[in-house]
Structure 1
Amino acid sequence: MASRLVAAAAASSSSSPLARLISRRGLAGAADHHGPAKVNLWQDPLNPGNWKEEHFVLASLAMWGGVIYGVSRLFSGKKKDTTTEAVPSPAQ
């Protein structure tokens, strides 16, 4: 009888070691979505606000890479060789 009372008192107190080991998830379920669902880049290509974060990062990096490459090619100072030599046609 005394052991039941001790067990009941230990279970009801919030400072018992057993009460601290019990995990309580509360409202941390995975089914609670906050906002619209994120989609893949190719499913909604004209709306970047709905893309998944990793797809947005990849698209942004590709865009900036293209811009930096284009600007570096534009301002690199390399001159194209525009001289053309006339090739004599073979005599028949």
Structure 2
Amino acid sequence: MASRLVAAAASSSSSSASPLARLISRRRLAGGADPHGPAKVNLWQDPMSPSKWKEEHFVLASLSMWGVVMYGGFKIFAGGKKENKNEAVPTQV
């Protein structure tokens, strides 16, 4: 906002520019946000190349993988649910 006012004040000395032209915003450095590398793709479009995935898809895949590893490790080392089988010994009559 301040730069627009300074630009308007600086250009007010020239009478050739219209007042509307002085208030138009100029996007001088707007090209800096353009991606410079290869385009990122969705996880399901190229599942074998994690370097090409979008960042949020990489995070979701990583968190899912760690969840599976932690759950699997818990199941392996905790031994799962053990059933106690108490068989009744038949009595001899």
Both structures adopt the same fold (TM-score exceeding 0.5): yes
Larger relative contact order (C-alpha < 8 A, sep ≥ 6)? 2
Aligned to 1:61: 63
- C-alpha distance in 1, partners of 2:70/2:45? 27
How many residues were matched structurally? 74
Q: Extract unaligned runs of 5+ from structure 1.
A: 1-6, 13-20, 86-92
Distance 1:36 1:8, change over 3 A: closer
Residue identity matched to 2:72: G
Shift of 1:60: 0.5
| Most deviating of 58-67 and 72-81 | 72-81
Q: Secondary structure of 2:27's partner?
A: coil
Superposition pairs for residues 42-81 of structure 1, below 5 Å?
Answer: 42-78=44-80, 80-81=82-83
Superposition pairs for residues 6-21 of structure 1, below 5 Å?
Answer: 10-11=12-13
Runs of 4+ in 1 over 3 A off after TM superposition: 29-32, 77-83
TM-score, scaled relative to structure 2: 0.57
Q: Extract unaligned runs of 5+ from structure 2.
A: 1-8, 15-22, 88-93
Residue identity matched to 1:56: F
Share of identical aligned residues, percent? 69
Residue identity matched to 2:70: I
- C-alpha distance in 1, partners of 2:83/2:10? 92
Distance 1:81 1:50, change over 3 A: same
RMSD, aligned CA: 3.8
Higher helix proportion (structure 1 or 2)? 2
